[in-house]
Structure 1
Amino acid sequence: MKKLLLPALICCIYSGAHATGFKSLSDTELAKVDGQALLNFSKDAYSYTTAGSETVNFFKLGLDAEMELNTNIKSLQLGCGGVNGADGCDIDISNLALSGLPTSYDSLGNPVFANDRASTSAKITNPFVEFAIKNNDKASTREIVGFRLGAQEILGLLTTGIANTQSPTDGIQSFSGYMKIADTTGSTNTAAAKFGKAVNQQIAGVLDIALFGEHDFTSDPLNSATTGITVPQLNNVKFNVPGFTVSGNRQTKASATNIMVAIPVIPLAKGTAADNANYEVYNGLNTTQFDNDQLLVNINPCVGLGPLCLVSTSKFKMGEGSKLTNLNMNVTFNQLLSMVHNVPLTGSGGYLALQQLALHWPGADAADVAQRGWWMSFADPVQLGQLNVAGAVDISAVLPQVAQNITNSLGQPDMKIPIDLGDSIKALVNTPIVKTLEINVGPWTQANPSTLTLNNQILKNQEVTSNCYGGLKFC
C-alpha cells in the first residue's frame, strides 16, 4: 500500500502543475502580487512633530498571529532612578499575573474560574514592536528616539498583588502611563455619627410662640445638656462613577471626581408606619439609638409674660418621624493603585514603550502622549466592575455642611417651629420639647451639593485569585 501512495502523489502533483501551467514571474510582476506573511514590516503613514519641530516617523514590525500566554512576574521595575527622578521607578508592580478571563463573577464581582486560573491563557492578537525614528530623511542624523512593544488586542485578566487589604505593600506601587476607567456604579454603607456636638454643627431657626410671636433660636453644641442627634448607619447607598483617566509619570493613586450621591431620607428618630412602609432605610433600623438624643437651644429674649419668656434655654428632641430628606453629595474618591487588583482586558489594545522625549504613538488617544521614560497604555476603557465599598465610610466631614443646610431650611417661612402653651411649660420645668421635623435640604444641595472625599476604601470586587497550582498565593 505504501509503495503505491508515493507514485500516486507524484502523479497528482505533476498533473496539477501541467494543468495550471506554472510560469516564472519577473520582479515587477511579483511586486503586484498580494499575499499574507507571518511577519510584516511597514512605515506608518502617521508622523509626529515634537515640541522642537522635529519630525518623528514610525516603523512597525508586526506578527500576524494569535498568541496565548499565562505568566507570573514577581517584580516588574522599569525606569528606576534616571531622568524622572532618583527616587522611585516609572513602573513598579509586584506580583503581576496575566491569565485568561474568568468563567464568571461572584455576587460581589470577584472573578471565578471553573478550573484553576493557572490552566487558562490570555490571548494576544497581532503583537508588534515599533520604533520611533527622528530625522529619518537623513542617514547622518537619523536617530531612534523610542520603541514600544504592543498588541492589537489583549484578551485576559491582569492582576496585581496577592491580597485585598488596606495599604498593601505589593501590587501597583508606581505607574507611568495612560489608562482609562469606564463608567461604573457602586454602593457603600455609611457609618453612624452624632450630629450637633461640634461648634461647626450649630443650627438656627425660628420659634413661633403662641400669643407671643416669633423668636430666633440657636443650638448650643458645647453645652453638657446637648447629647447630639443620631445619624444612623445607612446601608447600600448607591452612586454612579463617571469615567476617569489615570495618566502621568509615576502615579500612585487614581482619583474619581464628581461622583453624585443622592440620599432620599436620613432618619433622625424612630419612623412612623408610613416611613417603615415607604423607605427601605427604616427596615431593621435600631430605634433605641435615638432615645437619649437632644439639643440644648438658646432662645432670644422675648418680651411679655409668656412661660417661655421666663427661660432663655430649652431642651429639644426630635419626634417620631423626624427626618432629613434629599441630601445631595458630590464625592471625590481617591484610591491607591496598589488597592486595585483586578484589571480585565476584554479586547483592548495596549503597549509598553520607552522614549527619550514625549511622543504620541500611532493610533493612541489624543490625550495619550507618552512621556519621557517608560510608559504603559491601554487603548480602551478598563471595566473595573461595580465599586462596592467593603466597610462603612465616615461621613462626619459632611455634617458641618448639613448644619448650614438645616439652618437654611429652618429659616424658611413654612419651617417655623410652633410652640404652644404645653411646650412652654415643658421648658419651664426643664423637660425637653418634642417636635417632629422633616427637613428638606434638597433646594440647597441640588445646586450646591455637600462635598465629601473618600480615601483608600477596600472594594469588595478586588479579591485576588491565585494564578498558581496547589494553593500557592504566588509562584
Structure 2
Amino acid sequence: MNKSNKKIIFTSFFLLMLNIADATAMSELSDEEMSAETGQALFSLQQIAPNDASNPNINVGFYKLGMDAQVEINANINKLQLGCGGNKGIGCDIDLSEVRLTGTQAIDGNYSNTDAILDNPFIEFAIKNPNQASTREVVGVRLGAESVLGLLSIGSNPDPLNIYDDKGINTITGDLNISVTDSKLSNGCVQLIVCLPFTGTLSPYNTSISVNRANSIDLTGLQATTTSVVGFPIGLTLNNINVLNQPLSTVHNLLLSRDKEGKIPTKDFYLSLQTQAITWQKSSTQKFDHAQAQPGWWISLPNLQISNLDIKQQIDVSASDVINGVLFNQPIYINPIDLGHMPSNNCYGSLKFC
C-alpha cells in the first residue's frame, strides 16, 4: 500500500470518529425532560446515626456504600491469615489453609468452572464520635453482601480413617450457625469384651456458636440411630452423644446456603475488622441482632450446611454407656473422629492444590 492510500484511509477514519463523537455528544436537558428520565444508580449510600433508636452501639455511627450488582467469583487461596499477633498475642484470628470459593454445583465432578454468587456487595465503616471532628475515629470496617451462594472448601484429607492428617481450618474467629444433615456412621463399635460392630445415621444437628481463635468445637446433644448391629437390622436410638474438642481441621466443605441442596442463598455473610466490640446491622432485616463482633478480625457465617458425611473411622462406645444412654438418657462421650469430609475438586491448569 502506497503512502497516498494510507493517507486517504487515515483521513476517512478520522472523519468517521468525528462524526461518531458528534452523534454521541452530550446535550442539555430541560427540567421537564430530566424529570421524565428514570434509572437506578450502581452505588447507594446509607447512614445510621449514633442516636438512631435501633442502634445499640454507644456513640457509633455507620456509613455504608453498597453496589447494586451481582458479583461472581471462583478463587483459590493457598494460605489465608488475618489478625496474627498484635495485642491478642501469638496466633491468628483467622488462619485457613488451601481455601477454595466456588459455585455450589459441580460440573463433571469439578468446581473449576463454577462461581460463587454475591448479590449487592458492600463496604461499611463504623465511626465513633462521627459528629465531632476533633475526636472522630474509625473503629470498624466491614465487607459483606446481602446474599451469598457458594461453596467454601478448605484444606485436605488424605486419609479419611486418620484424624491427624487433616488440615484446613487452623483457627477461626466469628459467629457460626452450623447445620449437619444426611450423615452416616459406617464403622461403629460397642466394646463388650469383643467389638460388636454397628452402623447408623446421625439425626439432623444444628448449633450456633461464637468462637475466638478456635481450633476445635464441642458437638453436644447428637443423636444417632443404628441401622444394623452385628449385621442384623436393628434400630436403636442413642441420645445425648457428645464429642468434645472436635478439631475444626476435619471440616472441609462449608456450603454457604440456606438449604442443603445449595440452591437458596444465605443472608448476612460478612467479614469485619474492629478495634472494639461492635454489633453490626443485619442487611436482610435492618435489625442489630447479629452476634457482637469482638475486637480484631471477625467472620459471620449465618448458614453453614455440612451434608453427606460418611464417617468411616472406628467409633468406640462402651456397652455400659450404651445401656445408660438408652435406659437413663445419660450422656455418651466419644473421642474426636475424622468426619470423612473431603474438600472439593477445583483443579484448573497447573494449580498445586484442588
* TM-score normalised per structure 2: 0.77
Partner residue of 2:149?
155
Q: Give the structure with higher Rg (CA).
A: 1
Residues 263 and 75 of structure 1: CA distance in aligned 2, closer, same or farther (over 3 Å): closer
Residue 90 (str. 1) matches residue 53 (str. 2): no
**What pairs with 1:241-252 in structure 2 (closer than 5 Å)?**
241-252=204-215
Q: Specify every segment of 5 or more residues in structure 2 that has no aligned partner in the other structure, as ranges.
A: 1-14, 258-264
Q: Which has the higher contact order (CA 8 A, sep 6+)?
A: 1
1:127 aligns with 2:121: yes
| Aligned-partner residue type, residue 353 of structure 2 | F
Identity, in percent, stands at 33
> SS of the counterpart of 1:360?
coil
| Offset of residue 474 of structure 1 | 1.6
Q: Does 1:55 align with 2:18?
A: no
C-alpha contact (below 8 Å) 2:167/2:250 kept by paired residues: no
Gaps of 5+ in 1: 104-112, 196-227, 268-275, 282-324, 406-440
Check whether the contact 1:48–1:55 (CA below 8 A) recurs between aligned residues.
no
**1:234-383 correspondence to structure 2 within 5 Å:** 234-235=198-199, 237-263=200-226, 280-281=233-234, 328-334=238-244, 335-346=246-257, 347-348=265-266, 349-363=268-282, 366=289, 368-379=291-302, 381-383=303-305
Residue in structure 2 matched with residue 464 of structure 1 by the alignment: 343
- The answer to whether the 8 A contact 2:224-2:238 is kept is yes
Give the deviation of 1:336 after TM superposition: 1.2
- Cα distance in 1 for partners of 2:215, 2:189 equals 31
Change (3 A) 1:185 1:116: closer
C-alpha distance in 2, partners of 1:401/1:69? 48
TM-aligned CA deviation for residue 151 of structure 1: 1.0
Q: Does the CA contact (< 8 Å) of 1:164 and 1:339 recur in 2?
A: no
Letter in 1 for 2:152: L
Q: Does the CA-based 8 Å contact 2:84-2:90 persist in structure 1? A: yes
1:344 is aligned with what amino acid?
Answer: L
Conservation of the 8 A alpha-carbon contact between 2:82 and 2:95: yes
Aligned to 2:73: 69
- 1:164 and 1:464 in contact (8 A); partners too: no
Cα 1:169–1:115, aligned 2, differ >3 Å: closer, same or farther?
A: closer
Question: Which residue in 1 is equivalent to 2:260?
Answer: none
Q: Compute the displacement of 1:182 (Å).
A: 1.9
1:400 alignment partner in structure 2: 320
- Structure 2 distance, partners of 1:192, 1:69, is 44
Find the residue that maps to 2:108 and give its secondary structure.
coil
Q: Deviations over 1:117-165 (max 9, x none)?
A: 2222222111111000111222222211100111112222111113354
* TM-score, scaled to structure 1: 0.59
1:420-444 deviations in Å (ceiling 9; x for gaps): xxxxxxxxxxxxxxxxxxxxx95xx
Say if 1:363 and 1:64 are closer, same or farther in 2 by CA, change over 3 A: same
| Residues 41 and 34 of structure 1, relative CA distance in 2, 3 Å threshold | farther
Partner of 1:24: 31
Partners of 2:92 and 2:210 lie apart in 1 by 15
Instruction: Report the CA distance shift for 1:87/1:148 in structure 2 as closer, same or farther (over 3 A).
Output: same
Q: Aligned in 2, Cα 1:139/1:187: closer, same or farther, shift over 3 Å?
A: same
Q: Which amino acid aligns with 2:222?
A: I
Contact 1:70 1:122 (8 Å CA) reproduced:
yes
| Larger helix percent | 1
Q: C-alpha displacement at 1:470, in angstroms?
A: 4.2
In 2: Cα distance, 1:121 partner to 1:194 partner: 47
Q: Closer, same or farther in 2 for the Cα pair 1:453/1:140, shift >3 Å?
A: same
Map residues 180-259 of structure 1 onto 2, 5 A cutoff.
180-182=177-179, 184-195=181-192, 228=193, 230=194, 232-235=196-199, 237-259=200-222
Amino acid at match of 2:275: Q
Q: Which residue of 2 aligns with 1:41?
A: 45
Q: Is the 8 A contact 2:242 2:334 kept in 1?
A: yes
Q: Are the equivalent residues in 1 in contact too, given 2:221–2:239 (CA < 8 A)?
A: no
Q: Deviations over 1:191-231 (max 9, x none)?
A: 44552xxxxxxxxxxxxxxxxxxxxxxxxxxxxxxxx4x45
Aligned partners of 1:466 and 1:472 also within 8 Å: no
CA distance in 1, matches of 2:75, 2:251: 19
Corresponding residue of 2:130: 136
CA contact (8 A) 1:248 1:371 kept: no
1:57-91: CA deviations, max 9, x gaps? 1110111111111111111111111232x211001
Question: Structure 1 residues 121, 139: closer, same or farther in 2, change over 3 A?
Answer: same
Aligned partners of 1:184 and 1:191: how far apart in 2?
19
